[in-house]
Amino acid sequence: MQAGPLAANAWADDAAVRRPAEHVAHAASAPKKPSAVAAPRVKGEDIVVATHRLSPADLARAQLDSLPGAATVIDARQVLRGRNLTNADALAFQPGVFAQSSGGGDGLRLSIRGSGIQVGTNYFRSGILMMFDGLPVTTPAGTPYELFEPLGLRYTEVLRGANAFDYGGLQLGGGINYVTQTGYDAQTYQARVEAGSFGYTKEQLSSGKVIGKADYYLSVTNSYRGGYQTETQANSFGVNGNFGYRFNDRVSTRFFFRYRQTRNGYPGYLTRDQILTNPKQAQSPYRAWHSVRIQPGTKFYGNTTSIRIDDQSKLDLGFDYQDAPIDIQNTSFSQIWGYKTVAATLNYTRHDVLAGHKSDTQFGFMDTSDLEAWQTNRVRVRTGHLAGLPMGQILRHVTYGGTENYFHLRNNTELFHDFWLTTAAAVAFIQKSSGVPYPYTAAGANFKQSSVNFVPRGGFRYVVSPHVELYGNVSRSIQPPNDWNLNYAGPYFTGNIPQSGMNSGAGRLRNQTATTYEIGTTGQAWRNKWSLTYYYSNVRNELLSVMTPQSQAVGASIYGNASPTTHQGVEASLETTLYEWAGNRLSLRQAYTWQNFRFRHDAVFGGNRLPGIPEHFYQGEIHLDTKAGFYAGFNAQVSSKVGAAYDETYFAPSYHIYNLNVGYEWPGKHRQVFLSVNNLANTHYAAIVVPGYIAAGKQLAVMQPGDGLGVFAGVSLGFN
């Protein structure tokens, strides 16, 4: 199986899932990390003998084994054993990944290694390259989140930091690649229903099949939730489909389509005491205004084509188009956004033998560009300085633009037995613009900035024994500001005018860069399977919320570049088989994240920690799997306190919550039922903190609560 960023979409990978178990897969790349399906290595050639049919997730893990750093694969089959409300459910138990949701909507607080810690739940995600099937969903504006329905996936790749390099992921947080089901691994007919507390219901109908040289997969989902907190009613409808065709043994193509519309109530943010006493309340005045965020219908079209040039080389081509309209009805004025973007990818992978040693080389290109990007503000509530204006009157129109081009080259060579050296470099061409053409002012003239950046990477991987591996790397990362950040870094309209307090133009923001050192180990021994990684990043021009004299005059914080900061942390996971008998298994899985992010001699905050993310975050689960099909799990989630302001005078309290999940899978059949009980102790806690600037000991409304005690049940039926 030849490795490559888009290999999961190639016909060979789909076919491999369905090969008889006695077939032997010849690994063209590096020696594999420890795997339960790997046979002892044979000198001169790596051979993997399948003792059972390899799942798509197993194949993906094998392809990521050549990375000299931290990367994991989440098998969708495990995620589907419980509730799948949001992507926070799908990304649980991933060390280094902080994924939390609030209110049951699609907004997700997502950060890896401190990326995007300033971005709240109702904004495009920042600092991580997000992908569907190797195609970038991330745009110059960031990542629209409404398309990320967790149902309908085969597996998810989580590539922390520079380990997303082969995809063109040069940002601090790395990348997440969601890989959808195809006709090769889906049921011909499948139905799933989930329901439970807070008025929650979710339905899915899907179908997938192989027809000659073609295959298809189609999934339709619908969900509704009344909400744990007031004003958090949420509903969604989505379609996810793909069609693949294998022309011959060397050429295949696959077309993708996604559509989703959502409507999520907006309750505002609460203070610490409000969450501890009554987390169900909504903040004034959002309850009276019935604030809501609407995605009226986001569309994603994509294609990947794989061309196997010869036995040693392969070319993958990709293209996608997105149309992501947004209607935000949160405050006294509405924000109507329009985003249409295109992206293209090219990856050429080649396997050689140099002086008797294996060598893999990859050249890649990724482009993401705005076709149309704008925001229009209109009068929504006639109050305050908008009291005398007609409903719907245009207050301001903002335009955005951006292009990001990444050329990346990587070589992975075995210098000597079981020791691999990775060298890589990328060149990034980045251009961003913003302006305020209405009402036109001198400050509203179009603002543009551009840069050319060199991003190197080097690493090693050493297979100490068939069961233990060491790795390390040094890398640079670059994170440009989202195009809309430029407007929120600019000057303000002032005076007695309707636009007072809005940004009147754009401001310059520098690209955030970092040098990261990473070292770690993976392995398995004595019924334990572990991964352990330590990283340290020197960050320059980190994109954070700041307060300037001008923004302070209108009571707002804006985006700006911070003084130098450091990010360091530990990402650890441990899976332990506690006891096995007669085909039954009792196990313990644990994931722990330590993250210490600080200013370095800041003029205002000295060496304070960066707020918004807990320093310690732990998830653990005791799990029982029986041969008869019954399974049960009891898990805990523990978080240390979270800074809620830069001056370290205000915190969200620490918490621990407990959850229970039980279910039954009919052996040999695609039928399943489950029951999940979340937050057994009905703990009041802040799931999300979007920090304020300076609290000075006062309580700021910057927190959103997690759900209270909830009971959920589901059933899934599949037929071939």
Distances (CA, A) of 660 to 259, 464, 620, 657, 685: 33, 39, 12, 11, 18
Name the 3-class secondary structure at 250.
Answer: coil
DSSP summary character for residue 692: B
Token digits of residue 222:
């619908």
Closest C-alpha to 62, from 42, 87, 36, 83: 36
**Can you give the residue ranges of every domain in the chain?**
56-719
Question: Residue 14: enclosing H or E segment and its boundaries?
Answer: helix 11-17
What SS3 class is residue 163? helix
| pLDDT the model gives residue 445 | 63
Which are the contacts of 310, defined by CB distance < 8 A and separation ≥ 6? none
Q: Check residue 55 and give its pLDDT.
A: 83
Which regions in the chain score pLDDT beneath 70? 1-53, 103-107, 119-122, 441-445, 547-557
Who's near 459: CB < 8 A, 6+ residues apart?
68, 69, 421, 422, 471, 472, 473, 474, 475, 518
> How far apart (Å, rounded) are the C-alpha atoms in residues 172 and 52?
38
Residue length of the chain: 720
pLDDT at 181 (0 to 100): 96
Using alpha carbons only, give the angle 627, 630, 634 rounded to the nearest 5 degrees. Answer: 120
- Rg (C-alpha) for the chain, rounded Å, is 25
Residue identified by tokens 């996810």 is: 240
Structure tokens at 136: 């970038």
pTM above 0.85, yes or no: yes
CATH class of 56-719: mainly beta
- Helix, strand, or coil (residue 384): helix
DSSP state for residue 414 in the 8-state scheme: E
DSSP annotation of 492 reads: B
How far, CA to CA in Å, does 163 sit from each of 75, 274, 295, 354, 632?
19, 41, 32, 24, 34
Q: How far is Cα 469 from Cα 70, in angstroms, rounded to an integer?
A: 12
Burial of 124 (0-12, 13-18, 19+ CB in 10 A): buried
- CA neighbor of 236 nearest in space, from 152, 156, 148: 148
Q: 409 to each of 193, 217, 451, 505, how far by Cα in Å?
A: 45, 33, 20, 38
Buried b (16+ CB within 10 A) or exposed e, 610-647: bbbbbbebbbbbbbbbbeeeebbbbbebbbbebbbbbb
Question: What are the DSSP E strand ranges found in 212-250?
Answer: 214-225, 234-246
> Which residues have CB under 8 Å from 566's CB, separation 6+?
536, 537, 538, 539, 596, 597, 598, 600
Q: What is the pLDDT of residue 27?
A: 35
The pLDDT of residue 104: 61
Residue 551, pLDDT score: 59
Give me the residues paired with residue 345 across strands: 318, 366
Q: How many CB atoms lie within 10 A of CB 472?
A: 18
Dist CA 387 CA 377 (whole Å): 15
**What is the CA angle 556-557-558, rounded to 5?**
120
